[in-house]
Amino acid sequence: MPSRIADNLSRIQQQIADAASRSGRAASDVTLVAVTKYVTADMANELVEAGCLELGESRPQELWRKAKELSNPDICWHFIGHLQRNKAKRSLPHISLLHSCDSNRLLAELNRLAIGSGGKIDGLLEVNISGDASKHGFQPDEMNAIVAGLPDLSHVRIRGLMSMASLGGDRDAARKDFERLRQLRDQLADHLPSGVSLSELSMGMSRDFEVAIEEGTTLVRVGSALFEGVDV
């Protein structure tokens, strides 16, 4: 019998497919990142067993712990929270996409660490699109300058933008935020430095991922909806 978590997963996958088809997109254009920050490694493993290999964490210590406890080598970890520079070195070996590149100082440190390890880091630029004072991320009006500076970061591959809808807003407010992020991406795309592409958008969480898909996101970060009805 499938577990409650596996049930929730297939329901959400269906909702993703439906939202994609409503907007004339293929379901395969949208990647579900299952956010496991609320649950134990055992519960996260139920998602893995059910075929979900894209997992997200927002705190370094939780990432380190779960990356160690979940041994499936096919898991791709997405880091979605604020990453302090002094935790970057230990975190990077686990991260396949860092959604939350939120300052020039972090970008410089990531580049330095990647040069040292001989690898490259894939990331998204986090934009504070709603202007909430409590949120991390670049301001929309600094994005031109940030993007123009990307070629200086030889070992960081920025692949798109990430954002969160305004705190306490409803779905209509979320739609406006998501639309603004997509428009910002489209404006930036008109004059990208060579070698830079912003094809990915990471927006939408449990309460608004369907809206985000309708507004063009390629990654949704869903946590609590996956664990509905489960004691966590």
Ligand X SMILES: *Cc1c(COP(=O)(O)O)cnc(C)c1O
Residue ranges in contact with ligand X by CB under 6 A: 35, 37, 58, 80-81, 164, 205-206, 221-225
Q: At what angle do helices 41-49 and 4-22 cross, to 10 degrees?
A: 60
Q: How far is the CB of 193 from ligand X (least distance, A)?
A: 27
Q: Which candidate, 205, 174, 200, 177, places its Cα nearest to that of 188?
A: 200
Q: How far is the CB of 145 from ligand X (least distance, A)?
A: 24
> Which is nearer to ligand X, 10 or 154 (by Cβ)?
10
Q: How far is the CB of 61 from ligand X (least distance, A)?
A: 15
Q: How far is the CB of 209 from ligand X (least distance, A)?
A: 8
Closest residue to ligand X, Cβ-based?
Answer: 223
> Which is nearer to ligand X, 136 or 180 (by Cβ)?
136
> Which is nearer to ligand X, 185 or 221 (by Cβ)?
221
Backbone angles phi, psi at 128, to 5 degrees: -85, 80
> Which is nearer to ligand X, 75 or 124 (by Cβ)?
124
Helix (H) or strand (E) holding 173: helix 171-189
